Amino acid sequence: MIDDRPAPAPTAPRSVVTVDTGGDGPVFLLVHGIGVSSRYFERLVPALTGEGRVVAIDLPGFGKAKPFRPGHPLAMADFADSVAALLDDARIADAIVVGHSMGAQVAVCLAARRPDLVQTLALLDPVMAPQDRNPLRAGALLAFDTLREDRRANRIVVGDYLHCGLAWYLATLPAMLEYRIEEELEHAQVPTVVVRGARDPIARDHWVSELARRTGGEAARIPAAAHVVMHRAPWRTAALITRLVRVPR
């Protein structure tokens, strides 16, 4: 018997808003890294709320956006375009885009592709330095970082990785390793701060300094924090981000 039913439409990659505090003032858009979700911004959201409207999202295939995982890997431009579509739908422009880890790549890509949507960039523990751009080294560094995080951060990260699943993580990993954030930053002409936790084994000092140099922005180092810097030191991280609001474009 011939099945002549139409094939199901492919899933469109979509980002999903998970937190929107509302309110007036500048919009802080929080973009998470590979394998995880917006949940690890739980301490940063209240630290920023008094400064404006905070919007946290899950990227396609991660967290609450898992149902919008397409049947093919996404490039960094695809992730950025999904964020742009979300901002357009919400009529948000000139956001302070806060990207952590791979989310920093998404943030930079968004600023380069849609500068009308981005007022400033805050890049938290951005990945990956050139010498770390292979799967085994990247995986080893991420695993090593768990030894430096607190229990709550590790519970969130491990839980999100399990929810994400190995297949989607591995499908996304090449895009993260291939993206040349240091080159793309030169096309993102907005005030930028690059922040790292002093104990982060992934975004090390020389790499953060190089990215800041490329933008003419500021490099900042937060003591005692590791890769998930905004979880360990939410108020210090928020203070560095909010300083950008007062920087003229």
pLDDT in tens for each of the 249 residues of the chain?
Answer: 444 554 444 567 899 999 999 988 999 999 999 999 999 999 999 999 999 999 999 999 999 999 999 999 999 999 999 999 999 999 999 999 999 999 999 999 999 999 999 999 999 999 999 999 999 999 999 999 999 999 999 999 999 999 999 999 999 999 999 999 999 998 888 999 999 999 999 999 999 999 999 988 899 999 999 999 999 999 999 999 998 765 444
Specify the DSSP class assigned to residue 101.
T
Nearest to 121 by CA among 226, 236, 218: 218
Identity of the amino acid at 37: S
pLDDT of residue 188: 84
Q: Which are the contacts of 74, defined by CB distance < 8 A and separation ≥ 6?
A: 13, 60, 61, 171, 172, 175
pLDDT of residue 179: 97
pTM score, whole prediction: 0.93
Q: Please, how many CA atoms are within 13 Å of residue 161, restricted to the half-sphere of its CB?
A: 14
pLDDT of residue 12: 77
pLDDT of residue 109: 97
pLDDT of residue 186: 85
Distance CA 64, CA 192 (A): 29
Beta strands (DSSP E) in the chain are 16-20, 27-31, 53-58, 95-100, 118-124, 192-197, 218-222
Report all structural domains of the chain as residue ranges with CATH numbers, in order of start: 16-246 (3.40.50.1820)
SS3 of 122, please?
Answer: strand
- For residue 141 the two structure tokens come to 């560094």
Query: Edge-to-edge strands of the sheet including 192-197?
Result: 16-20, 53-58, 27-31, 95-100, 118-124, 192-197, 218-222
